[in-house]
Amino acid sequence: MPGVPRATESRRAVKQFLIDRWFLIGLTVLVVVGTLLGPALMPLAKVPGIKDVNLFLVMFFMTLPIALAQMQGAISRPAPAALAVAISYGLLPAVAWGIGSLIGPSYGHGLMVASIVPCTQASAAVWTRKAGGNDSIAVLVTIVTNLSCFLVAPAWLAIMRLTPQGLDFVRMVTQLAGLVVLPMILAQIARRIGPVAHLATKYRTPLGVLVQCGLLSMVFFGAIESSQGLRQGLQTTSGWLSMLAMATGVVLLHTTMFFVGLYTSKLCGFSREDSTAVAFSGSQKTLMVGLKVAMDSGYSVLPMITYHIGQLFVDTLLADWLKRRSGLK
């Protein structure tokens, strides 16, 4: 029958679409459900320790497949990675501070929080590799920014005067060290055991799916806890305008930092591959730690979620642009 091949092709196309986009679909569904059913689901988000255990496990399994050997080239030439870290932890938060002040406290403070968290391990190296860049630099930047976030994030909160009354600075430093840095160290210690390293490398993709499921659960908790404020804000025209301003600011911030990293690298004489790595790793931010800091500080998680979604879409386009520009296939 002539219709059978076409139907089969359509099913394959739908299946491939779901495989490629399941994370974004799940993220959208969980944000909507968490926002609409927030009051009823609030007890779930308030289960003692559930978010902390989730963050610890995600950071452990996210780091487990990473072999330190793959960063040797980047460590021997640290200038590109240092530039990316300077953009990620210096220039980007400073610019976000200005943009957030213009947007207003409802979403502006959440945007500032999103700007002070580490580079994402989940996608920086992937997008760098897709664009033909040096992914060892991206991996090094994610490791350095994640290992130092327990000091940098609280320091920026204090500088921006975003530390809420009653939030203990020392407690936040200790928590981030225990929930972000410790599992990364333990994962690398576990890799010293031969079979663990072999299995982590062999099952890198399933581990990645497990990590993304952990990210989605954290998004769900964040949507539940922010549901009341979000629903109230969207009942007015000014609320919608604030959200639009926030989304515009997020995309503008990320894209600007990308090109700052790209062209500053070229001015420094870095190769195309290294410049590409600086552009992606200097502008991307991790969802997991951002949600943790935002929820603990009492700020909206929507800017962090928007930043994450925005960087996925924008960087897909930018990676394709860089490939075409470089004549890569």
Cα atoms in the 13 Å half-sphere on the side-chain side of 117 = 26
How many structural domains does the chain have? Answer: 1
The answer to whether the CB of 135 falls within 8 A of the CB of 273 is no
Instruction: For residue 130, tell me if it sits in a domain.
Output: yes
For residues 81 and 88, give the distance between their C-alpha atoms in angstroms, rounded to a whole number: 10
Q: Which residues contact 175 (CB under 8 A, 6 or more apart)?
A: 52, 150, 296
Question: What mean pLDDT comes out for the span 233-255?
Answer: 87
Is 96's pLDDT higher than 70?
yes
Mean pLDDT, the chain, as a whole number? Answer: 87
How many beta carbons lie within 10 A of that of residue 57, not counting itself? 15
Instruction: For residue 37, tell me if it sits in a domain.
Output: no
Residue 101's CATH number: 1.20.1530.20
Q: Give the distance from CA 114 to its chain's centroid.
A: 9
Instruction: For residue 192, tell me if it sits in a domain.
Output: yes
**Tens digits of per-residue pLDDT, 38-70?**
889 999 888 888 989 998 998 899 888 888 777
Q: Which two tokens stand for residue 33?
A: 């459900």
Q: Residue 260's domain spans which residues?
A: 47-323
Instruction: For residue 3, tell me if it sits in a domain.
Output: no
**Tens digits of per-residue pLDDT, 283-300?**
999 988 898 888 888 888
**DSSP for 1-34?**
-THHHHHHHHHHHHHHHHHHHHHHHHHHHHHHHH
Q: How confident is the model at residue 1 (pLDDT cuts 50, 70, 90)?
A: very low
Angle ∠(95,181,129) on CA atoms, nearest 5? 65
